[in-house]
Amino acid sequence: MGHRIIPDPETFSDQSVRYNDQVPRPADPTARDRILRAAHRLFYERGINDVGMSELVEAAGTGKNVLYRHFPGKDELVLAYLRDFAERLGTQLDEATADLEPDEALVALARHVAGLVSHRSYRGCPFRNYLRETRDTKQPPGRFALAQVRDLRTRIERETAALGLDDPAALAERVWIVLEGVYAAAPYPERARIAESAVVFVEDLVA
């Protein structure tokens, strides 16, 4: 006796059609968000390499087929996780520097980074964490993470260029190095003090 093949319910728009005496269930509209929330928690707390897809299925409360329907592989899920962080961070930085003069915007960038790093639940920048953990700059997640790291440099260069200095690149380099140092201090117990000192340093640089 041959095996009965049951088609995927989501390929049918007529929900009245029955197979094996069961009505096909519509797709769960919350599944993708639940998978991403689980990925955020596990990837951010433990890193990318330590978390497997089976664990993500269990944490999200979805079937394996559902996860792979939304994210065909781990790279796709990691990229979505990084994109979600990037969207939120970009909005925050835009709001922090809106309508400010260039020198004020540079200090505002420093204050925002300092505030992130000083928060008790902060475990490092997800883009820098990814690059440090995987050493990947070629695959889509790595290219995206590196682009987000460079986005902060671009913001700094844009503001320093508007100051009318003879050598804005030198100031951009100094501010960039200071903020990268703040990110690097994220694992340290004294990170809040380091972050606040960095803000003062940026204020001195742009004065």
Q: Are 81 and 43 in contact (CB under 8 A)?
A: yes
- Written as one letter, the residue type at 104 is E
Reading the block at residue 175, the tokens are: 């501010």
Q: Are 145 and 153 in contact (CB under 8 A)?
A: no
Residue whose C-alpha is closest to residue 178's, from 158, 198, 207: 198
Q: Position of tokens 């915007």?
A: 105
Q: What pLDDT does 34 receive? A: 93
207 residues of the chain, pLDDT tens digit each: 444 443 443 433 344 344 344 444 456 778 899 999 999 999 999 999 999 999 999 999 988 999 999 999 999 999 999 999 999 999 999 999 999 999 999 999 999 999 999 999 999 999 999 999 999 999 999 999 999 999 999 999 999 999 999 999 999 999 999 999 999 999 999 999 999 999 999 999 998
Distance from C-alpha of 79 to C-alpha of 32, rounded to nearest angstrom = 14
pTM across the whole model: 0.82
The three state secondary structure string of the chain is CCCCCCCCHHHCCCCCCCECCECCCCCCCCHHHHHHHHHHHHHHHHCCCCCCHHHHHHHHCCCHHHHHHHCCCHHHHHHHHHHHHHHHHHHHHHHHHCCCCHHHHHHHHHHHHHHHHHCCCCCCCHHHHHHHHHCCCCCHHHHHHHHHHHHHHHHHHHHHHCCCCCCHHHHHHHHHHHHHHHHHCCCCCCHHHHHHHHHHHHHHHHC
